Structure 1
Amino acid sequence: MTTDPACATAHGDLPPEPGRRTLVAVFESPVADYLLKFAADVGYRTVLVDPAQGGTVKAAGLDSDTDVVVTDHDRPELGEVLRDALAETTRWIGLMGSPRHAPPHIEALRALGVTDGEIGRVHRPIGLNIGSKAPAEIAIATLAGLIADRNGRPGGFDF
């Protein structure tokens, strides 16, 4: 009888496969803190980038296995950060924010000369729609959405 590797890993009989996944959280925030903690727990290499502390997305080592999550949509550096992330190779770029409010990144990116096609690569809203309110819940919903997307799944309870 052959053992399903996914079941063996879930039961602790096999170690998880080492991945090359990287999660870059942009802007220091309570959500970023939880997001980085939980992402590390599920095997991501994690990086915090905060321009206020001299960090740049270009220095974060972005590649095709990198997911970038911008955790604050009210920062004045929003346009520049997204422009720089879009200029690099990334698997996925998302911006937190309520769908009830106008997306601030569109005009910021247009003002920097970013094309609508590139702007369309920025996902918003992000995460699974579970009604998250607290920072830890928002981080869980975001990370669950990234895992679902990486695995080609819709998320939620549809199998």
Structure 2
Amino acid sequence: MDDTALMSTDSRTMAHGAPTSGTAVKTLVVVFATAVGEYLLRYGADLGYKTLLVEPQRARVAATDVTVLTGVPADLGEHADLVVTDHHRPELGALVQSALRSNARWIGVMGNPRHPPPHVPALRALGVPESDIARVHRPIGLNIGSRTPPEIAIATLAGLIADRNGKPGGFEF
């Protein structure tokens, strides 16, 4: 008996790359044009996400085939994941506040967990309620010791996939 006889039709279909029916369109919104953001957009598209880049300063965007917006759309949809890739930008508070007003499924801000999260004071200064601030994930991604932009993007996307599927990530099943 070969291995395929042991798998259901759905398992074989998924394992061999055919899309499954009934899957909602996932959207990945990358906020700020950064090196990590470029990899998130590239790898996110490979994973089946509709990808969007939010960059208020258009001069920072190199030629791209990704949709580029200057602000966070209010109608992202409940299957949207939003990742802020630069926590030093002056637009941080306003863009995260806009993300919180949207119906995005998940919102996260990159940053070293050993440093205070700069989005918190920025949101407080805008009068955002603590309950909304608590919806923002930080740190983001799986702890795989990533250091380079591609590794950080992989860890971030793996964390989003785990969260979307209700799994903790890692090697525990």
TM-score, length basis structure 1: 0.93
Note the alpha carbon deviations across 1:45-81, whole angstroms, 9 max, x for none. 000010112610027x411110000000000100000
The SS at the match of 2:57 is: helix
Q: Distance in 1 between matches of 2:105 and 2:127?
A: 22
The SS at the match of 1:35 is: helix
Q: Within the alignment, does 1:119 sit opposite 2:128 as a pair? A: no
Q: In the alignment, what sits opposite 2:70?
A: 55
Please, which of 148, 151, 156 is the counterpart of residue 137 of structure 1? 151
Q: Distance in 1 between matches of 2:147 and 2:168?
A: 21
Q: In the alignment, what sits opposite 1:41?
A: 46
The SS at the match of 1:37 is: helix
Structure 2: gaps (5+ residues)? 59-68
1:11, distance to aligned residue in structure 2 (A): 2.3
Task: Note closer, same or farther for the CA distance 1:15–1:88 as it changes in structure 2 (3 Å cut).
Answer: closer
Q: Distance in 1 between matches of 2:25 and 2:16?
A: 22
1:134, distance to aligned residue in structure 2 (A): 0.1
Identical positions, percent: 58
Q: Distance in 2 between matches of 1:41 and 1:6?
A: 20
Is the Cα contact below 8 Å between 1:148 and 1:155 reproduced in 2? yes
The SS at the match of 2:29 is: strand
Q: Distance in 2 between matches of 1:4 and 1:102?
A: 48
Structure 1: gaps (5+ residues)? none
Is the Cα contact below 8 Å between 2:24 and 2:79 reproduced in 1? no
Aligned residues: 157
Q: In the alignment, what sits opposite 1:15?
A: 19
Structure number with larger C-alpha Rg:
2
Q: In the alignment, what sits opposite 1:5?
A: 10
Q: Distance in 1 between matches of 2:9 and 2:166?
A: 19
Please, which of 162, 167, 173 is the counterpart of residue 148 of structure 1? 162
Q: Distance in 1 between matches of 2:45 and 2:52?
A: 10
Q: In the alignment, what sits opposite 2:66?
A: none
Is the Cα contact below 8 Å between 2:142 and 2:170 reproduced in 1? yes
1:101, distance to aligned residue in structure 2 (A): 0.6
Q: In the alignment, what sits opposite 2:64?
A: none
Supply the AA of the counterpart residue of 2:52. Answer: V
Please, which of 83, 89, 93 is the counterpart of residue 107 of structure 2? 93
